[in-house]
Amino acid sequence: MPIELAPSERAMWQKPVRVRTEKPTDDFRALGIDFANPGFCDTPAFQGAERQNPRLLIKYAQYINALTLTPEYLERSRGMVRDTADFLHRELVADGRRGACIDISGTLLRFLERQGIWAYFVGGGLRVQFPARSGIGTRWFWPLMHGENPALMGHAWVCAPPFKVVDLSFSIQPYQAREQRYLNGYVLIEECEQPPEETTLTDLMEPEVRAELRAAFRRPPTMDDLPQVAPGLREFMVDFPSCKTT
């Protein structure tokens, strides 16, 4: 059953996500930021600079992606991420709360940073496709939402090398009973498979947003409208593509 995670530039302003930057370390040095240890985005120097430039969190994530990590570190990280994910997922299941992707991902991030593990938070969207024999339609958690939606983002997870995706809550969302029977556990992905289908506005925008745009444009919106609707998102999707797992 395919599950596709798509980072969102809209969400990246709230938390770090991946984007290509030449030398983030040069920016950090110029700003007087010590970038030696995991979690340095929480230091006073970083946060002060971030208030002037919210996109600095992007550089934090790019810095982590660009790190050259030793085999010994990666093996240690695998073990700690798995152990922490096991513990927090059990706690989330026992708690019974659904739709807690932001809180549980933020908690996972803090746990890992305190263990000396490089990691960052990703906000984006989720598309779940059920087996054809189930008769269940595709389920979306859209990253681009209408103003009345109280959610901060469509979905959230953590990147913690060597894992590109650590998603503790994908199966603990407000699913219907017939959907839930196909979903359990959590997701750990080291190598991402790219979805064969191109991303469309159906994947990115809630129906209400597409309806608003249709009324405003007096025609159905298309991906060519993204620069106007969500500036920078199309380029961002090239730098940080969707990730598929089954």
Q: For 102-123, how does the pLDDT look when each residue is reduced to its tens digit (9 = 90+)?
A: 999 999 999 999 999 999 999 9
CA distance 148 to 4: 25
The answer to whether residue 21 is domain-embedded is no
The answer to whether residue 73 is domain-embedded is yes
Which tops the pLDDT comparison, 57 or 10?
A: 57
CA distance 202 to 213: 13
The answer to whether residue 30 is domain-embedded is no
The answer to whether residue 62 is domain-embedded is no
- Any idea what DSSP says for residue 180? H
CA distance 198 to 224: 13
Q: Which of 4-13, 109-118, 191-200 has the lowest mean pLDDT?
A: 4-13
**Domain membership of residue 73 as a residue range:** 3-12+69-245
pLDDT of residue 4: 60
Query: Most distant CA pair in the chain: distance in Å?
Result: 58
The answer to whether residue 51 is domain-embedded is no
- How many helices (H) does the chain have, and how many strands (E)? 11, 7
pLDDT of residue 16: 32
The answer to whether residue 130 is domain-embedded is yes
Domain total in the chain: 1
Q: What angle do CA 90, 14, 245 make, to 5 degrees?
A: 50
Phi and psi based region of residue 96 (left: phi greater than 0; alpha: psi -120 to 50; beta: remaining): left
Through-space distance between the first and last CA atoms of the chain, rounded to whole angstroms:
5
- Any idea what DSSP says for residue 117? -
CA distance 45 to 28: 9
The answer to whether residue 192 is domain-embedded is yes
**Rounded to two decimals, what is the model's pTM?**
0.86
The answer to whether residue 97 is domain-embedded is yes
CA distance 216 to 128: 30
Q: For 53-110, how does the pLDDT look when each residue is reduced to its tens digit (9 = 90+)?
A: 988 988 898 899 899 999 999 999 999 999 999 999 999 999 999 999 999 999 999 9
